[in-house]
């Protein structure tokens, strides 16, 4: 029998099984295996005549239901982002007031030192640190879901959907870690045995919105979509998940053809998260953001201030400054996306170093704190909600930070895949932002 005949016979058998059992072959075979194991245990293991149904079993009948599981998961994610945005606003306002006071005091110094402190360091770093509350609250929410045992259920629920795109539920765990930071998400791909699944998951992980992108979303959503800010932030995360799913399907159909690996996991019992455990997890993930704010972001905003102030005598952050020349060089690329201003282009260029720097760079360019940054985008650049949405989508999807690229390089032991990630993600971001802006402009008659 030839290879083609064997494949045809296999496909015929799989179709026959699905027609009889009403489910895909992998689910049927797995069910039969567990049934066989259950039969052996029944013959050899003594159990009480009436086995007690645990509380976890009762909850799982709802949360991991094959029909209700995914809608419940999406509802929980939506509720999480609504909580993060609503609870963080008062804290953000308090921090914004504090940095505004510091900027006023620093401006009294005068000269280049006062400008560096007020326009550069305080405006730049302050524009990022103001987002500490939503980032830490996001980590709190993820820690609660993880500690209570729900994230394992989410992986189980998503296993069927993941199989449709050529992956399995184990790939869902690194993708969920990506909500915190993409670096550990890429490193977590080591646990995936199948090489095709591992590389595919590694390449699509950067599309999952990490905590570093959250300042961009919270800033623009809070200014341009005030009444629906939480929904818009939720939409950004869903767009990232959608881009990851589409890319995984595309990669498995083209670059990494072959069968996907199997996924078996034990669901832990539900537990009540402890405040100490949640606090520890929040701090372990959140301190990375604070460390970057004190090192990478601080250094970049100082560099932005220097470039915006040079050559000596030029108007600060004008097109005649070195920063203006840099932004003007890249700006034409973003004209079809709707944000072809040199300020936006320069911020995105520095965002390659760290995504938090996008907001920090804008704060240093406009020499304002976060509270006035959104107003500056409206007044000085003439941004509309459509442009802001396109900018958020581009910031979500374009090239991952340099640390993530380095991690992909070390995990794959190849230079090809990091460069592929840079080119592919930036191309997807540009196409998505352009389509959003151009279609939206036609739809609103602008």
- pLDDT class of 50 with cuts at 50, 70, 90: low
pLDDT of 254 higher than 90: no
SS3 sequence, 249-308? HHHHHCCCCCCCCCCCCCCCCCCCCCHHHHHHHHHHHHHHHHHHHHHHHHHHHHHHHHHH
- pLDDT class of 284 with cuts at 50, 70, 90: confident
Q: Residue 420 is inside which H or E element, if any?
A: helix 416-443
- Whether residues 138 and 228 fall in one domain: yes
**What whole-number distance in Å separates Cα of residue 148 and Cα of residue 140?**
12
pLDDT of 389 higher than 80: yes
Radius of gyration from C-alpha coordinates of the chain: 25
- Is residue 139 situated within a structural domain? yes
- Whether residues 35 and 93 fall in one domain: no
pLDDT of 339 higher than 90: yes
In contact, 376 and 364? CB cutoff 8 Å: no
The conformation of residue 117, written as its DSSP 8-state character, comes to I
**Percentage of the residues of the chain whose pLDDT score is greater than 90:** 19
- Whether residues 240 and 304 fall in one domain: yes
What's the average model confidence in pLDDT over 25-44?
73
- Is residue 329 situated within a structural domain? yes
Cα distance from N-terminal residue to C-terminal residue, the chain = 63
- pLDDT class of 214 with cuts at 50, 70, 90: confident
**What whole-number distance in Å separates Cα of residue 443 and Cα of residue 384?**
14
- Whether residues 48 and 76 fall in one domain: no
Which residue range forms the structural domain that includes residue 239? 69-443
**What whole-number distance in Å separates Cα of residue 324 and Cα of residue 319?**
4
- Whether residues 47 and 75 fall in one domain: no
- Is residue 158 situated within a structural domain? yes
- Whether residues 294 and 360 fall in one domain: yes
What's the average model confidence in pLDDT over 43-57?
71
pLDDT of 266 higher than 60: yes
**Percentage of the residues of the chain whose pLDDT score is greater than 70:** 85
- Whether residues 124 and 237 fall in one domain: yes
Higher-pLDDT residue of 238, 13: 238
Higher-pLDDT residue of 223, 108: 223
Please state, rounded to an integer, the average pLDDT across all residues of the chain: 81
**What whole-number distance in Å separates Cα of residue 44 and Cα of residue 68?**
36
- Whether residues 25 and 149 fall in one domain: no
pLDDT of 251 higher than 80: yes
- Whether residues 235 and 112 fall in one domain: yes
- Is residue 61 situated within a structural domain? no
Of 94-103, 245-254, 379-388, give the lowest mean pLDDT range: 94-103
- pLDDT class of 345 with cuts at 50, 70, 90: very high
**What whole-number distance in Å separates Cα of residue 435 and Cα of residue 209?**
20
Q: What is the pLDDT of residue 198?
A: 87
Q: What is the pLDDT of residue 141?
A: 86
Higher-pLDDT residue of 239, 112: 239
pLDDT of 67 higher than 60: yes
pLDDT of 335 higher than 90: yes
- Whether residues 11 and 134 fall in one domain: no
Q: What is the pLDDT of residue 184?
A: 79
Q: What is the pLDDT of residue 22?
A: 67
In the chain, the number of structural domains is: 2
Q: What is the dihedral of CA 58, 63, 68, 73, to 10 degrees?
A: 170
In contact, 59 and 147? CB cutoff 8 Å: no
- Is residue 62 situated within a structural domain? no
Q: What is the pLDDT of residue 51?
A: 62
What's the average model confidence in pLDDT over 402-426?
90
**What whole-number distance in Å separates Cα of residue 107 and Cα of residue 100?**
11
- Is residue 407 situated within a structural domain? yes
- Whether residues 260 and 375 fall in one domain: yes
**What whole-number distance in Å separates Cα of residue 295 and Cα of residue 262?**
42
Higher-pLDDT residue of 56, 252: 252
What's the average model confidence in pLDDT over 127-154?
82
Q: What is the pLDDT of residue 362?
A: 83
- Is residue 57 situated within a structural domain? no
Of 110-119, 220-229, 286-295, give the lowest mean pLDDT range: 110-119
Q: Tokens at residue 54, please?
A: 């645990």
The conformation of residue 190, written as its DSSP 8-state character, comes to G
- Is residue 63 situated within a structural domain? no
- Whether residues 411 and 308 fall in one domain: yes
CA angle 268, 273, 277 (to 5 degrees): 105
Of 198-212, 365-379, 416-430, give the lowest mean pLDDT range: 365-379
């Amino acid at each position: 029998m030839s290879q083609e005949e064997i494949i045809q016979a296999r496909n015929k058998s799989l179709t026959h099984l699905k027609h009889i059992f009403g489910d895909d072959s992998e689910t049927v075979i797995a069910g039969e295996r567990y049934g066989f194991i259950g039969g052996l245990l029944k013959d050899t293991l003594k159990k009480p005549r009436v086995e007690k149904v645990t509380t976890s079993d009762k909850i799982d009948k709802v949360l991991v239901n094959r029909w209700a599981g995914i809608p419940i998961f999406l509802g929980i994610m939506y509720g999480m982002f609504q909580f993060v945005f609503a609870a963080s606003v008062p804290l953000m306002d308090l921090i914004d007031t504090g940095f505004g006071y510091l900027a006023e005091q620093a401006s009294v110094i005068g000269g280049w030192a006062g400008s560096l402190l007020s326009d550069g360091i305080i405006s730049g770093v302050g524009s990022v640190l103001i987002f500490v509350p939503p980032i830490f609250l996001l980590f709190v929410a993820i820690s609660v879901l993880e500690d209570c045992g729900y994230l394992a259920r989410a992986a189980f629920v998503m296993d069927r959907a993941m199989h449709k795109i050529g992956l399995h539920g184990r790939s869902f765990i690194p993708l969920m870690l990506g909500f915190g930071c993409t670096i550990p998400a890429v490193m977590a791909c080591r646990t995936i045995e199948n090489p095709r699944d591992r590389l595919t998951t590694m390449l699509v992980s950067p599309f999952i919105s990490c905590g570093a992108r959250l300042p961009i979303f919270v800033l623009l959503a809070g200014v341009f979509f005030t009444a629906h800010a939480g929904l818009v932030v939720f939409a950004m995360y869903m767009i990232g998940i959608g881009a990851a799913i589409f890319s995984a399907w595309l990669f498995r159909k083209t670059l990494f053809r072959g069968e996907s690996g199997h996924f078996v996991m034990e669901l832990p019992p539900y537990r009540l998260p402890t405040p100490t455990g949640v606090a520890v997890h929040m701090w372990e993930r959140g301190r990375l953001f604070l460390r970057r704010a004190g090192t990478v972001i601080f250094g970049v905003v100082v560099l932005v201030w220097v470039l915006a102030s040079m050559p000596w005598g030029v108007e600060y952050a004008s097109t005649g400054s070195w920063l203006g020349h840099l932004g003007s060089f890249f700006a034409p690329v973003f004209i079809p996306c709707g944000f072809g201003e040199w300020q936006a282009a320069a911020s995105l260029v520095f965002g390659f170093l760290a995504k938090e720097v996008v907001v920090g760079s804008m704060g240093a360019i406009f020499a304002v704190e976060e509270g006035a940054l959104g107003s500056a985008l409206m007044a000085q650049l003439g941004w509309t909600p459509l442009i802001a949405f396109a900018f958020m989508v581009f910031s979500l999807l374009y090239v991952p930070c340099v640390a993530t690229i380095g991690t992909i390089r070390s995990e794959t032991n190849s230079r090809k895949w990091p460069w592929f990630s840079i080119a592919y993600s930036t191309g997807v971001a540009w196409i998505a932002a352009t389509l959003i802006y151009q279609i939206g402009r036609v739809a609103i008659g602008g």
